[in-house]
Structure formats: C-alpha cells, structure tokens
Amino acid sequence: MSEVQTVENMVSITIDGVEYKAKEGEYILNAARANDIFIPAICYLTRCSPTLACRICLVEADGKQVYSCNAKVKEGMEITVSTPDILAERRAMMEVYDVNHPLQCGVCDQSGECELQNYTLELAVDSQSYTIQDTKREATNWSSVLHYDPGLCIVCERCTTVCKDMIGDAAIKTTKRGGASLDKAWKDEMPKDAYAMWNKLQKSVIAPSNGTEHTNCSDCGECVAVCPVGALVSRDFVYTSNAWDLKKIPATCAHCSSGCQIYYETKPASIEDRTEKIFRVTNEWNYVSLCGAGRFGYDFENRTATKDATAFAATIEAFKKAKVINFNSVITNEEALMLQTLKEKLGVKLINREARAFQRFLGFYSEASGQSLYTLDFKEVMASDFVISVGSSLRNDNPNARYAFNNVQKLNKGAGLYFHPVGDTLVPTFGKNIEMFTHKVGHEEAALLFIIKLFADQDKLPDSVKEQLESDFVELLGGDTAKFEKAFEKMMKKKETFSLMVGEDLYFHEKAENLAKLIAVLEASSEVKVAMIPPKTNSLGVALICDLDDEAEGYTIGYNESGDFKLSALGDGDLDMPAMNQQEGTLTNMHKRVTPTNAALEYNGYVLNDIIREVASAPKETIMWTEHLPVSKGFKAVEFDSLPNHYTNDGVEHRGYLLESISREAKEISVDKFDDSNALEGEIAYRCNPQRQFNDFSDKAHQIFEGFGLYASPAKAETLGSKVEVEFANGKLTLDVIVDERMEGDIVAIPDFKSAENIYELFAGSRYQTVTIKEV
C-alpha cells in the first residue's frame, strides 16, 4: 500500500448519492473511511483479512446487500449505507450482541471507548426482542499479561485475527462455548444476517489455540488493543482506571528501531500520590501494531531525579576532561546532535557500537548503490508479496520486521524465504509458502549469492558475482535441492513485488563490506529491493548524525553505558538523565521516518542540553535542536512543534517526516570471493535478546518478565542443565538456562539488554562467538 495515489489506479464510486474517488481493489469500507464516510463495522481490522463475524457492515452496492469490509469497489459502483432492511438487520444484530451481555459498563474497563456501547447507542437500541439462556463463562488469565472475560466477549474475532494476520502467533482461536442452541423459531422471525451472526456467536468463545489454559505467545498485547469491548484487558490494568480519566500523550516507542506510534496514558498514581503515572500504552491499532515491550514496558522513568547542583558541577568537570563519550542508541536525534556538536567543538571521541556497525554497513551499501539510505521502508515490505529475510532473528530482533514478514504471507498471499543460523519453529507457521534455511554461521554471503542467483537478471551482474553462482547453494545452506526447486516454483506464482530485509548479523559480520556490496548488486540487477533493520532504537538516526569512532581511549563518559563518569536515565549513574518517556525530541525509525515523541512524565533533574550549554553552547530547550538536524543526511530543517503526529482515516501516516535518500554516483562493484570455510564450528553463542526485551529500560518495566539468561531450545537446554558458565575468549559469564520453546538447534542465545554485563565486549564485534559452556 504505497502512500502515493496515482490517478490511474483510482475509480469513482457513489456513496449515498455523492461521488467519491477510491483506490482500485479496495474494500468498500476502507474506501468509505478514506472519504470520511461512516459505515458501522465491528470485526474488520485494517491490515488484516476480513472475518465476517459481525456482519454489521452490510451496505447495498449496486442493488445487492454486501459486506462492505469484504466487497471491493468497482468503477461506477453505487453504494447505499443504510436501507430500511439493512437498518433492521443492524438493529437486530446490536440487540443480539446485547442479549446476556452483563450490565456492567459501570465497572468495565472499556466503558467510554467500548464499541458495543457506541453502536448500541448509535443504533438507538432501547429494547430487547431476543433472549436465550446464558452460559456460565469464567474470567481467566491467559498469560502474565492477558486477562480474558468471556462474559463480555462478543466473538468479533478481532483478537484472533490480529494475532494470526499481524502478529503471526495465532495463539488464540474461537472455540466451542457449549451454550444453549438457538431456538429455530428465531430463524423465521428475525433478519437473516442477524440470525446467522447470532447462531455463530452463541456457539463460540475465544481460547488459547494450543488447547491449554495459557497462550504461551509473544505477549504483545495487540489482542488487548483491538478488542472492541472489555473482554480482553491487560492484567495490570484491570479495574484500575477509566478510559476518560487518562490523559493521552502521543509519543514514539523507544524500545526498538520500529519507532511505533504510541500513546502513554497517564493520570495521578493514586489518591495519596498525585504524581502522574503511566497506566497503560495504547496505539492506533488499525495502522500500527506494537510488541510486548512497547505495550507493557512503559514504566522505566527516572523517578528520583532532582537538580543536584554538586553532581552537575562534577559532570561539567568530567566533560571538560573527557576524551570519549560512550553511548547507545536509546537516545533522541537531538541528543545525538548535541554529542556530535561536542565532538566538533571539544574533539571527544564518540563510541556507539551498534550504531557504528550499522553506520559502516550503510556506508558500504551507499558507496556501492549510490543511495544514502536503503530502498524500502517496512510498510513497503508489508505491501510486497515475496519477502526474504537474511541476518536477523525475525522473532526477536524487530517486531515490525516480523509482523511485515507474517502479514505478507497472510494478506498478500505471499511467499517468504528465511535465512538464519538459529532455527525457529514460529516462522514456518506464518504461511504455507515459506522456505527456511538454517544455515551455518558465516554463510550469510552464500545466502545473498543464492538470492542473487534466484532473482537477478544474470546479464546485469558484475563478473565477480557471476562467477560465484555455480555452486549448489541450497545444499550449502542446509536445504534439499529437489524439494526446494518444486516449492520455489509454487512460491513465485503471481508475485510482483519482492523485498529483502537484512538485519544485525550482517552489520556485525566480518565481511560486512562484501555483504553490503552483494545487496547493492542484488538491487541493481533484480526486482528485489532491500530494507534494513537498524539494530537498536535510534541507530539509524545516530548513524546519520554522529561521526562515530571505532576505538577510543582515555577518560570516558558513559551515557546509559559504562564509563569513568556515568550519566544515567536509570538513576544509577553519577548524574541523572531523563528516560525516554520523560523527554521530548525526535527518533529516526526503520521506516526512515523522523518521528516526534513527547514527555509523558515529569522530570526534575538536568538534561543533556544543560550540560552542553555549560561546556559548549546550546539553545534553551532540547527541541530547539530539531531544526538543526543535518539536512545533508536527509533530515529536514523543521521545528519540533510543527511536526505532525497522527494517522488519517485512509491510513496515511502523518508522523514527523520521511528522511530523504540522497543519491550519488555508484562505484563500480567488485565483490570478494565467498569462502565457505569461514563458517563457525563448535559451541556457538548468539547475541540476541528474548522477545519483549531490548535494553535496560524494557528490563526495568514491571510487566516485562523475560530474564537475563542463556536462552536455548528445549532440546539443547536438556543437555545444559539449569545453570551454566559460558566462557568466551575474553571473559566468562554465569547464566541461568532459560528454555525458549520456539528455538531450534544448538546455538544458544545470550541477551545484550543489560548494558552493565558488557555483552558487546564479550562478543567482540560479532554476533556469533564460539564458547565453552559448562554446567555449574
């Protein structure tokens, strides 16, 4: 779904006698919404497939009753939103929804933003004609975050749909309710669609699809977000606040590079404690999907900060003698610019490992491709119908990359190729047309060469590549050649747009330069376009803004990282800094978008700008840096306060602005020869966080339970025992073994979200290391 609407792909339709333009092939409902026409609809979710559970979206199109969420617009289509028949249907449906629905709006968490309430009022349902015996339905907790009250559930299936079509877990499904069956007499008495809807509704409730009481899912909470009623609520939030008491602060999630749109919803913590507290995080779920860290990991603010003048004076001293600033990517563009300014004025060195790796990779790529930025954003990936992933642990690295991969399978009848050394049981379940290559560590170049072989126009390839394409990559990458060829033929059917996502494995790769070149070659010679997953929150922004150094020595200031003097938003440093939910500023996300974020909570201490003002020079407010972000790198000179932050009804994102990709002359590409002996052998550890954990901040949040330990597949864990000592070339770690049900193979994962553990040092510039693991 590209944001550009060309005149060619538009059709004219008439809704209630007024003519509108709509995108060809769009559902009537979406076309109406894009034109700000209201059609009642409950079960449909933008970006997911229609489920036809509610049937309330009935409209008349060219004389026939159709479900507007499922019927596509045609040139000249005449649509009537309400006819007497349809109104009767809708009213009957709402009455049916209200049958046995508990009269508990007074306590319900959804009250005030409940779609059942809204439609009941909208359709003026003031009496009930239907009745059926109720079934006892008990509230349960599905997981550490999910609370399901089937009594309130209207079985719209939005939760199951989003979980399947967007998240990919398909962790919940409709199941038998076991209630009384409908009296057949109703069939003749009531409107047809309402009866059909009721018949289905009466038979079902939602339950975890693994047959147990618990979902064992990604705990993303997206099902909670989409639930139109109070049936699905997060356990932490149940009965703690009413929707209308909460103040919504539009922000950008600061946990990963997706930079999702979120609202921090705040109100005073309690009667005694009147300081604002975040009660939950919500999102525009029709247009953006969060992961568990974004939704539940919100209380990482630096609560105790004060303006400690002595600490501040010490900080100024420290900055004056500093040689190095060591920081990470959980930082706004403005702060990155401040640090860059410091480098320019005081000559300090800037160290940011993940951003530096990405910066180098991006540099190699743009040298080879002539573009300063990668080609696709992840919305374009989501709109493609063939998606390839290389060098990223899809399930853990970046939720939006994963959602895109999944959504392509579900919505675009797409196909996917997944290359990764660590086996995964979830990815193959995303769709039928997915081929997974669990290749050896070090064979990433082979993966890219293989892709080139599959998709590239051989004539456009440089010789250095062409000569390497002879080998049997399928075999090399751990697949079965014959089987793959058959599958690939099927996968390629009716495919038009191809996308490649690459991840952190490649940036931290020994042969990063070669890999970047191969990607450029692929793009130049095929339909496949690339999107890159920046390793951490604002790695892309930092990579563009800062002139990072590889190595540095001397007195070091650590900003949320280790150093001789430590600035910390976690409250454990020498000077307090505001956490991301206490700051305003912009972040650059993987969609190449610069998005604004706002302060949800009060912060009483010093900010980086105060320090910069003392040691160099700075404007009054942090956000005054926004307009000075480097235009030469694709930023725009706009003021912070003029940045928009919303979506419109047609799904167009108006959040900040898109980075501009700057083109230049591409260099002649010549790639190195792939050497398959480079593969790592032996016991291998992979630097990879569990789902919902990204950094110290997600770790600090009270609803994120994933611990710091050694993650291993069930089979591997069996052999390891419960606690192990992991020995690296340059250090040791003692870790608890945590089983990740969805991992496969022998490679173990060691998280890097705790900066204090210095995991980057242990892995020494790579994501994979051979280690020795001993049980202790």
Partner 1 sequence: MGLEQFKNRNVGTQNYKTLDLDHTPVTGMGQFKQVVSRTFKPELFVGLWVTFREMINALFRGKMHTTQYPFEKLPISPRYRAIHEMLRLLESGHYRCIGCGLCEKICISNCITMDTRYDENQRKEVSEYTINFGRCIFCGYCAEVCPELAIVHGPRYETASEQRASFSLFEDMLTPIDKLNLQQEYQGFGAVSPNADENIKKTPLAY
Q: What is the 3-state secondary structure (H, E, C) of 403-421?
A: HHHHHHHHHCCCEEEEECC
Measured from the Cβ of residue 562, the count of other Cβ atoms closer than 10 Å reads 14
67 binding partner (options ligand FES, ligand SF4, partner 1, none; Cβ < 5 to 8 Å by kind): ligand FES
Distance in Å, CB of 600 to partner 1, minimum? 20
Residue 227 contacts ligand SF4 per CB under 6 A: yes
Helix (H) or strand (E) holding 363: helix 353-369
Site string for ligand SF4, 104-123 (x = CB under 6 A): xx--x-xx--x-xx------
Residue 121 contacts partner 1 per CB under 8 A: no
- Member of 202, 218, 282, 286 binding ligand SF4 (CB under 6 A): 218
- Member of 20, 27, 67, 130 binding partner 1 (CB under 8 A): 130
CA 525, 527, 528, 534 dihedral sign is positive
270 binding partner (options ligand SF4, partner 1, ligand FES, none; Cβ < 5 to 8 Å by kind): partner 1
What span, in angstroms and rounded, lies between the C-alpha atoms of 168 and 416? 14
- Member of 20, 67, 728, 760 binding ligand FES (CB under 6 A): 67
Tokens of residue 55, six digits: 């049937």
Comparing CA positions, the residue from 18, 16, 15, 55 lying closest to residue 31 is 15
Q: Which residues contact 483 (CB under 8 A, 6 or more apart)?
A: none
Residues 519-558 that bind partner 1 (CB under 8 A): none
Residue 453 contacts ligand FES per CB under 6 A: no
For residue 492, the Cα-to-chain-centroid distance in whole angstroms is 27
- Member of 171, 278, 305, 342 binding ligand SF4 (CB under 6 A): 171
Residue 184 contacts partner 1 per CB under 8 A: no
Distance in Å, CB of 745 to partner 1, minimum? 41
Residue 285 contacts ligand FES per CB under 6 A: no
Distance in Å, CB of 165 to ligand SF4, minimum? 10
Query: With the CA atoms of 305, 306, 311 and 313 taken in that order, what torsion angle do they form, in degrees rounded to the nearest 10?
Result: 130
- Member of 93, 190, 223, 590 binding ligand SF4 (CB under 6 A): 223
Residue 181 contacts partner 1 per CB under 8 A: no
Residue 188 contacts partner 1 per CB under 8 A: no
Q: Left, alpha or beta for 572 (phi > 0: left; psi -120 to 50: alpha)?
A: alpha
**Closer to ligand SF4 by Cβ: residue 43 or 771:** 43
Residue 178 contacts partner 1 per CB under 8 A: no
> By rule CB under 6 A, what count of residues binds ligand SF4?
41
Residue 473 contacts ligand FES per CB under 6 A: no
**Closer to ligand SF4 by Cβ: residue 221 or 558:** 221
Per the CB < 8 A criterion, the answer to whether 524 and 458 are in contact is no
- Member of 144, 242, 649, 758 binding partner 1 (CB under 8 A): 242
**Closer to partner 1 by Cβ: residue 99 or 624:** 99
Residues 76-105 that bind ligand SF4 (CB under 6 A): 101-102, 104-105
Residues 391-410 that bind partner 1 (CB under 8 A): none
Distance in Å, CB of 372 to partner 1, minimum? 51
Residue 52 contacts ligand FES per CB under 6 A: yes
- Member of 135, 199, 210, 240 binding partner 1 (CB under 8 A): 240
Per the CB < 8 A criterion, the answer to whether 285 and 680 are in contact is no
What span, in angstroms and rounded, lies between the C-alpha atoms of 229 and 175? 19
What span, in angstroms and rounded, lies between the C-alpha atoms of 297 and 701? 5
Residue 268 contacts partner 1 per CB under 8 A: yes
Residue 206 contacts ligand SF4 per CB under 6 A: yes
Residue 199 contacts partner 1 per CB under 8 A: no
Return the exposure string of 540-556: e unless at least 16 CB atoms fall within 10 Å of the residue's CB, then b: bbbbbbbebeeeeeeeb
**Closer to ligand FES by Cβ: residue 65 or 100:** 65
241 binding partner (options ligand SF4, partner 1, ligand FES, none; Cβ < 5 to 8 Å by kind): partner 1
Per the CB < 8 A criterion, the answer to whether 463 and 671 are in contact is no
For residue 370, the Cα-to-chain-centroid distance in whole angstroms is 28
**Residue 244 to residues 111, 241, 267, 276, 318: CA-CA distances in angstroms?**
9, 8, 10, 15, 46
Q: Return the beta strands (E) in 154-307 as ranges.
A: 172-176, 204-208, 232-234, 247-252, 261-268, 276-282
Q: Which residues contact 211 (CB under 8 A, 6 or more apart)?
A: none
CA 418, 424, 426, 428 dihedral sign is positive
Distance in Å, CB of 228 to ligand FES, minimum? 10
- Member of 69, 388, 519, 720 binding ligand FES (CB under 6 A): 69
> By rule CB under 8 A, what count of residues binds partner 1?
25
Measured from the Cβ of residue 243, the count of other Cβ atoms closer than 10 Å reads 17
Comparing CA positions, the residue from 705, 701, 744, 326 lying closest to residue 548 is 326
**Closer to partner 1 by Cβ: residue 127 or 617:** 127
Per the CB < 8 A criterion, the answer to whether 434 and 416 are in contact is yes
Angle between helices 84-98 and 115-122 in degrees, nearest 10? 140
Query: With the CA atoms of 308, 309, 310 and 312 taken in that order, what torsion angle do they form, in degrees rounded to the nearest 10?
Result: 90
Residue 117 contacts partner 1 per CB under 8 A: no
**Dihedral pair phi/psi, residue 536, rounded to 5°:** -130, 180
What span, in angstroms and rounded, lies between the C-alpha atoms of 302 and 295? 19
**Residue 287 to residues 166, 206, 281, 436, 600: CA-CA distances in angstroms?**
11, 24, 15, 29, 22
Contact stretch for partner 1 (CB under 8 A) within 43-51, 247-255, 263-271, 725-733: 263-271
- Member of 154, 394, 500, 724 binding ligand SF4 (CB under 6 A): 154
Per the CB < 8 A criterion, the answer to whether 153 and 229 are in contact is yes
Distance in Å, CB of 393 to ligand FES, minimum? 35
Residue 244 contacts partner 1 per CB under 8 A: yes
Per the CB < 8 A criterion, the answer to whether 308 and 577 are in contact is no
**Closer to ligand FES by Cβ: residue 29 or 293:** 29
Query: With the CA atoms of 341, 344, 347 and 350 taken in that order, what torsion angle do they form, in degrees rounded to the nearest 10?
Result: 60
Residue 221 contacts ligand SF4 per CB under 6 A: yes
Distance in Å, CB of 69 to ligand FES, minimum? 3
Residue 144 contacts partner 1 per CB under 8 A: no
Site string for ligand FES, 9-48 (x = CB under 6 A): --------------------------------xxxx----
**Closer to ligand SF4 by Cβ: residue 40 or 391:** 40
The SS3 of residue 735 is strand
Residue 50 contacts ligand SF4 per CB under 6 A: no
Distance in Å, CB of 105 to partner 1, minimum? 8
Tokens of residue 172, six digits: 């919940």
**Closer to partner 1 by Cβ: residue 126 or 553:** 126
Measured from the Cβ of residue 270, the count of other Cβ atoms closer than 10 Å reads 10
Per the CB < 8 A criterion, the answer to whether 251 and 600 are in contact is yes
**Closer to ligand SF4 by Cβ: residue 142 or 768:** 142
Residue 275 contacts partner 1 per CB under 8 A: no
139 binding partner (options partner 1, ligand SF4, ligand FES, none; Cβ < 5 to 8 Å by kind): partner 1
- Member of 13, 93, 159, 251 binding ligand SF4 (CB under 6 A): 159
Query: Interface with ligand FES by CB under 6 A: which residues?
Result: 41-44, 50, 52-57, 67, 69
Query: Interface with partner 1 by CB under 8 A: which residues?
Result: 105-107, 111, 126-134, 139, 180, 238-242, 244-245, 268, 270-271
Query: Interface with ligand SF4 by CB under 6 A: which residues?
Result: 101-102, 104-105, 108, 110-111, 114, 116-117, 146, 152-159, 162-163, 167, 169, 171-172, 206, 215, 217-223, 226-232
